[in-house]
Amino acid sequence: MNRDYPLEKVRNFGIIAHIDAGKTTTSERVLFYTGQIHKIGEVHEGDTVTDWMEQERERGITITAAAITCFWTPSYVSDKNDKGKKYRFNIIDTPGHIDFTVEVKRSLRVLDGAVVVFDGVAGVEPQSETNWRYADEGQVPRICFINKLDRMGASFEKSYKSILDRLNKDAVRMQIPMGLEERFAGVIDLLTMKAYSFEGEKGIEVVEKEIPAEFLEEAKKYRHELVEKIVGEDDALMQEYLDGKEVAVDVLKAAIRKAVIGNKIFPVFTGAALKNKGVQLVLDAVVDYLPSPLEMSAIKGTNPKTGEPIERHPSDDEPFSALVFKLQTDPFVGQLAFFRVYSGTLEAGTYVYNSTTGNRERLSRIVRLQADKREEVEQVFAGEIAAAVGLKEAKTSHTLCDEAKPIVLEPIKFTDPVISLRIEPKTKADQEKMGYALKRLADEDPTFKIKSDQETGETVIMGMGELQLEIMVDRMKREFSVLADVGKPQVAYRETVQGEAEAEAKYIRQTGGRGQYGHVKLTVRPLRPPLEGKKIPKHVKRSEHFEFIDSIKGGIIPQEYIPAVEKGIKEGMERGVVAGYPLVDLSVELTYGSYHEVDSSEIAFKIAGSQAVQDAAKRAKPVLLEPIMKVEVVTPEQFLGDVTGHLNSKRGEVQNVFERVMNKVIDAKVPLAEMFGYITTLRSMTEGRASFTMEFDHYAPVPPNVAQGIIESRK
């Protein structure tokens, strides 16, 4: 079976933005103009296609990334029925709310490009910065779309300037608007020097015309800036330009494409999705400037058997490799595992090798999604995004590949949760269902964690924010029919050490018959970042928050007991030493010990390891750590003093104050413990006119007077 679309005509891209920038509204227009839907859904009416979960429609926000396949013939192509001119788009519409930032991160990992949507009134907002940073980390080429120019207070220039100031100096205007607010009539393309208006039902007809006289001077000025920016990325073009030659539009387009793929230029487009203006030209820009899978560099991975680095190129002829980036429970077919194929092909009904677990699984069906509808396919090819039915073991970040030529792709890294809730099933029947429901939800969202409190036997759920946990409890009730009582949100504190200490522990139980004997000596110190370019030695095992150094010489502790010591250390770290919170960022070196020919056992060494790490940590200047949040408050100027004063009283540090339209914006860093219920206080302080957003920034030591209160409350 051959692929129905050549790879150069495929675009895998995401639509990303801060909450309320109009991302889902833009996605609905995309589906309408590409013929996937025949009626446009609206977020405010709760009938959008990509927001298909009940909670999304009720709240008017996107919670889960929706993957959609659709087809587009560029608006400048005269014969719309010419299949050779059609492009396949695999689009992921991602959430904007900070609690669901995991969806953006994992989506960007498997996409080749992104359309970043901005609110034409607010410009760059906190989540825009976070998403941009994720895209930078993944070196994802981007085009920008300044939306909502029909709104009161909209300003293309101010929003464009906020992109230059806060995101990247290499953003460049490709269009300028014709009018603003209620006078917004269309856009001017600076490359072709033509004006475009959007007419007919839902603006479906893109009408090209000459630039109105009142905008001509401005357009000429900005075109000059645009051309200078483009030729600045290409020496041959620069020479032509300096020689006074007119560079052809096609040549400029090719130069922009190359610069966008190299992350050297970020083109900026504009419009108003709700008023059906400008979206088709953004789709044209996706075709013209965002890369096909062929233009992306080879994906890097390692050979699971030898640890050697290997690559896979985007070709159907290479061995199969794919990354699972999302799990979703489907009410009709069970669990769907979304994956991106980097090389080779995969057929439904065959076995696939999971190199992360080392097991084979039968893949019963492959489906392509149009948001909540699905189309079965027999085979998927390199560069495609699809979902598998029937994979029981596959989890987010697992690699699927050809068993004869295995590869493990780099996993997606996720932030640890910062907030927790105690949860208790209402009945015995709910208890059995709750375990299953929580496991399913945790499989879907890697930032959602579950643990049991050893002392009380209670279940604790952990996540990135109050909204995320609220949605999870709601989903448990609706999708799995589990009723539960939940406690108040708690801060996920951590502990660490600031000094170095040594400790020795012997676990000896001599009873009649065989006894127990384990003896270890270890050193605990703060974990230091790895040295750039330096290889980690074989006797060192390192993860994000822990390092285990095996310095045992001459077999004074036999090799088979070393993993038990490490396991005991990890268990001891989970219990903490200051207030019972997990210890993190520790380097533990096992330096000495002894064993008994008959009595030594794994359990004895595990207990000794646990006791020794607890003892050493108590003497290594342990401290309590708390999550510090990056907070942005938008308030009318008359309340600025009250709001900043209140933030300072919450142990907050105001970093910056600037203006956005008619309001003042305060950037601050505030401990999460001080932010519960903040919205109520903020509203009463500002007559309901201020709003805020926050996201996790870093962990920092808790001041001693505050720490004392936390420790006492845990006793």
Contact 80, 37 (CB under 8 A): no
583 domain-assigned: yes
CATH number at residue 690: 3.30.70.240
Which letter does DSSP use for residue 616 in this model?
A: H
Q: Which of 153, 219, 160 is nearest to 182 (CA)?
A: 153
Last residue of a domain, one of 409, 436, 458: 409
253 domain-assigned: yes
Q: pLDDT grade, residue 56 (50/70/90)?
A: very low
Is the confidence at residue 58, as pLDDT, over 70?
no
Output the pLDDT for position 38.
Answer: 53
- Same structural domain for residues 211 and 308? no
Lowest mean pLDDT among 123-132, 296-305, 529-538: 529-538
Lowest mean pLDDT among 24-28, 324-328, 537-541: 24-28
Output the pLDDT for position 661.
Answer: 67
286 by DSSP, 3-state: which? helix
Output the pLDDT for position 573.
Answer: 95
Q: pLDDT grade, residue 48 (50/70/90)?
A: very low
Is the confidence at residue 428, as pLDDT, over 70?
yes
User: In angstroms, rounded to a whole number, what is the distance separating the alpha carbons of residues 396 and 328?
Assistant: 10
How big is the chain, counted in residues?
715
Tokens of 338: 């979304």
Angle (CA) 272 276 280, round 5° = 95
- Distance from the first to the final alpha carbon of the chain: 66
Output the pLDDT for position 66.
Answer: 53
User: In angstroms, rounded to a whole number, what is the distance separating the alpha carbons of residues 412 and 103?
Assistant: 11
What separation in angstroms does the CA of 421 have from each of 246, 428, 466, 490, 579? 64, 20, 9, 6, 17
Output the pLDDT for position 240.
Answer: 84
Q: pLDDT grade, residue 326 (50/70/90)?
A: confident
414 domain-assigned: no
Q: pLDDT grade, residue 2 (50/70/90)?
A: low
CB count within 10 Å of CB 64 equals: 21
Predicted TM-score of the model (pTM)? 0.73
2 domain-assigned: no
HEC string of 77-105?
Answer: CCCCCCHHHCEEEEEEECCCCHHHHHHHH
- Same structural domain for residues 608 and 562? yes
- Same structural domain for residues 353 and 397? yes
- Same structural domain for residues 535 and 605? yes
Torsion sign, CA atoms 244, 245, 248, 252: negative
What separation in angstroms does the CA of 420 have from each of 5, 461, 580, 601? 47, 6, 15, 36
Which letter does DSSP use for residue 275 in this model?
A: G
Q: Which amino acid is at 203?
A: G
Last residue of a domain, one of 463, 487, 511: 487
Tokens of 243: 């020689």
Is the confidence at residue 556, as pLDDT, over 70?
yes
Contact 506, 610 (CB under 8 A): no
pLDDT greater at residue 306 or residue 532? 306
Output the pLDDT for position 47.
Answer: 42
User: In angstroms, rounded to a whole number, what is the distance separating the alpha carbons of residues 206 and 237?
Assistant: 31
361 by DSSP, 3-state: which? strand
Output the pLDDT for position 451.
Answer: 83
Output the pLDDT for position 97.
Answer: 46
Is the confidence at residue 660, as pLDDT, over 70?
yes
pLDDT greater at residue 11 or residue 39? 11
- Owning domain of residue 439: 422-487
565 domain-assigned: yes
Lowest mean pLDDT among 498-507, 523-532, 547-556, 565-574: 523-532
Tokens of 305: 């058997």
- Same structural domain for residues 136 and 273? yes
CATH number at residue 347: 2.40.30.10
For range 411-432, the mean pLDDT: 82
Is the confidence at residue 332, as pLDDT, over 80?
no
Q: pLDDT grade, residue 651 (50/70/90)?
A: very high
Output the pLDDT for position 612.
Answer: 97
User: In angstroms, rounded to a whole number, what is the distance separating the alpha carbons of residues 363 and 359?
Assistant: 13
Output the pLDDT for position 513.
Answer: 66
- Same structural domain for residues 290 and 322? no
- Same structural domain for residues 549 and 686? no
35 domain-assigned: yes
Contacts of residue 550, Cβ cutoff 8 Å, sequence gap at least 6 = 539, 540, 541, 562, 590
pLDDT greater at residue 679 or residue 162? 162
User: In angstroms, rounded to a whole number, what is the distance separating the alpha carbons of residues 626 and 413?
Assistant: 21
Is residue 114 exposed (0-12), middle (13-18) or buried (19+ Cβ within 10 Å)? buried
Tokens of 665: 């914006």
Is residue 268 exposed (0-12), middle (13-18) or buried (19+ Cβ within 10 Å)? buried
Give the CA diameter of the chain.
102
Is the confidence at residue 107, as pLDDT, over 80?
no
Residue with tokens 């996201």: 695
pLDDT, one tens digit per residue, over 585-625 is 999 999 999 999 888 899 999 999 999 999 999 999 999 99
- Same structural domain for residues 478 and 506? no
Last residue of a domain, one of 231, 261, 295: 295
Number of domains into which the chain is organized: 5
User: In angstroms, rounded to a whole number, what is the distance separating the alpha carbons of residues 65 and 59?
Assistant: 16
User: In angstroms, rounded to a whole number, what is the distance separating the alpha carbons of residues 41 and 63?
Assistant: 17
- Same structural domain for residues 392 and 437? no
For the packed helices 126-137 and 101-110, what is the interaxial angle rounded to 10 degrees? 30
Output the pLDDT for position 235.
Answer: 83
Output the pLDDT for position 297.
Answer: 83
Output the pLDDT for position 52.
Answer: 38
Is the confidence at residue 640, as pLDDT, over 60?
yes
Q: Which of 169, 187, 189, 191 is nearest to 179 (CA)?
A: 187
Q: For residue 121, how many C-alpha atoms fall within 13 Å in the half-sphere facing its CB?
A: 13
Is the confidence at residue 665, as pLDDT, over 70?
yes
DSSP β-bridge partners for residue 91: 13, 68
Lowest mean pLDDT among 233-242, 327-336, 386-395, 437-446: 327-336
Q: Which of 704, 714, 652, 660 is nearest to 678 (CA)?
A: 652
For range 158-175, the mean pLDDT: 93
DSSP β-bridge partners for residue 194: 189
CATH number at residue 257: 3.40.50.300
Give the E-state strand segments of 271-318 in sequence order: 299-302, 309-312
| 337, 341, 345, 346: CA torsion to nearest 10 | -10
- Same structural domain for residues 281 and 361? no
- Same structural domain for residues 381 and 517? no
Is the confidence at residue 183, as pLDDT, over 80?
yes
For range 144-164, the mean pLDDT: 93
Instruction: Give the containing element (helix H, strand E) for 518.
Output: strand 516-526
Torsion sign, CA atoms 81, 82, 85, 88: positive
Instruction: Give the containing element (helix H, strand E) for 389.
Output: strand 385-389
417 domain-assigned: no
Is the confidence at residue 99, as pLDDT, over 50?
no
What's the distance, CA 516 to chain centroid?
47
pLDDT, one tens digit per residue, over 430-483 is 887 888 888 888 887 878 888 876 666 678 888 877 777 888 888 888 888 888
25 domain-assigned: yes
Per the prediction, the chain carries an average pLDDT of 85
Output the pLDDT for position 122.
Answer: 87
Which letter does DSSP use for residue 552 in this model?
A: -
Of all residues in the chain, the percent with pLDDT exceeding 90 is: 41
Give the E-state strand segments of 154-253 in sequence order: 171-173, 175-178, 186-189, 194-199, 205-209
Output the pLDDT for position 370.
Answer: 61
For range 485-511, the mean pLDDT: 90
Contacts of residue 396, Cβ cutoff 8 Å, sequence gap at least 6 = 106, 324, 325, 326, 327, 412, 443, 446
Is residue 616 exposed (0-12), middle (13-18) or buried (19+ Cβ within 10 Å)? buried
Instruction: Give the containing element (helix H, strand E) for 218.
Output: helix 213-231
186-205 per-residue burial string, b: 16 or more CB within 10 A, e: under 16: bbbbbbeeebbebeeeebee
pLDDT greater at residue 652 or residue 93? 652
- Same structural domain for residues 260 and 310? no
Output the pLDDT for position 481.
Answer: 86
